[in-house]
Structure 1
Amino acid sequence: MLEDACTKEMFCAMDGFLVLMSVLSTIQPAHSWPVADVGDQIVADVLEATRLVFAILSESMHNHAVNAKFFEQSVGYESLSQAALPLLSDPKTVDETLGFIVALSLHDFSVSGLFDVSPSVTYDSIDARLKDASPWMSTIRHAGAMRVLYTSIAVLPPGERDASLRRYYIYRLLERLSAHNHRNYAILNSLHLVGQLFDTYLSSAAAASGSSTPAEGACASADAVTATPKAERSVVLKLLKRLLELGSTSEEARLMFQKALKGDETFEWGCFGGVEGGG
């Protein structure tokens, strides 16, 4: 495809996209994968094959509007999300796979090694890492891939520290991309993440307050939100505020106001602020 753009049309016509989704969903060898460990050759082979799948997918849609539209409408980014699920939920492959998704979205595989949750990593070091990567951040080419990145939060491997750091990576990356240029800002706003981010903030508040429903005192004080690390809460709120500056749908606004009502039907302003934004 790099040598002859005509092959992109043939790739689509010969069901190349479906083949890629099939390969991605079955890329982990069932007989040996459960006993494999990070650093094993089989893990390296799976990661390299995964990289090639994402690279081919990216190149097949690059500067080819017909293929990009076909993949979005006839195959779907939901199919990509489902195919990548085993990789995103496995500690051996999750960080590299998250990086490949970002690379697909930007059509730039120099950023595929962005995610790292090794023992020395902190929230501050993630900020520094993303700041260093700023020169390589560009315009989002495939918004659907960014949605796959965001929805991957729900399937990240368990582990309080590592899961929080990975979520922080995703939230902070989205926030930095939204500030890169207005096109990115508009693209991220079009993904309608406002309602989900608001729910994320309320859920952490409800867990901290011991309330089963966020509306019952969950927003009474930002200082009460302790279930989620402060740095993560801050970046969630900063991203939420950033997206709200461009507006929300009437449905999102209605749901947010409903959830911000306390039991006595008074409005809790703390739902919309009080947590420091990150730098």
Structure 2
Amino acid sequence: MNESMNQSASLDDLIAIMARLRDPDGGCPWDLRQTFRTILPFTLEEAYEVAEAIEQDDMSALREELGDLLLQVVFHARMAEEQGSFVLQQVIQSICDKMIRRHPHVFGTANLPNPEAVHANWEREKALERSAKHDGKTVGLMAGVAHALPALVRAEKLQRRAARVGFDWDAIDGVFDKVIEELDECRETLAEPADPGARVHEIGDLLFSCVNLARHMGVDAEQALRTANRRFERRFGQIEAALHARGLEPSLAMRDEMERLWSLAKTEEC
């Protein structure tokens, strides 16, 4: 591949590269060994790395990570083509058709004057598409919410679908009360004899209720937890750095000092 190609590479070039990597005659042994299932973890990882670049407002990283994610699409499409299922062009055609169909106010004559109307139409189209996949039969409202989604994301999607038909709290106070109720039930599972199954059940209910609370507060629960994870990681890193500067290590014996340094790290962020 010459320098001029590097400066003007196209999707066709990427398709050709993947075809060469998957060529049984001289291709890459690692790429040839892969299947949809073995590549799946990489696909998910690349999607999260795109999210991380966005969260960090790093456009250079975003450019690179979008390329890595695009490679995953081309990789899956190539494997599908090899087994005669579909080709990349059909993938592109499918999403083009879907976007045109779901935007009749842009590509047609429908009158959808505000974002709420657009969203309602989008959901109607999705419902019709789900029904079409089942030969026109009525399908449950929760059908199509992928089980592979992160649990917090899936919980919010399930709740939003239920809310569309009125199965939701009328006011946020009820959600706060539900969270407290579930927290109390978690505490009850600590009583003897311990039932690990009950604890899993109650913790699940508590987390589900917390997602509901986040939704009612207009907060993306998955994003909020990702942010909290980064904040914890950053603050604990400050604790470690402060201890290492004094020739110390994090340990149970340093618990009080770690608590002090944690409070200091929180104060410095304010």
Given the two structures, how large is their TM-score scaled by the length of structure 1? 0.30
| Structure with bigger gyration radius | 2
Given the two structures, how large is their TM-score scaled by the length of structure 2? 0.31
Q: Which has the higher contact order (CA 8 A, sep 6+)?
A: 1
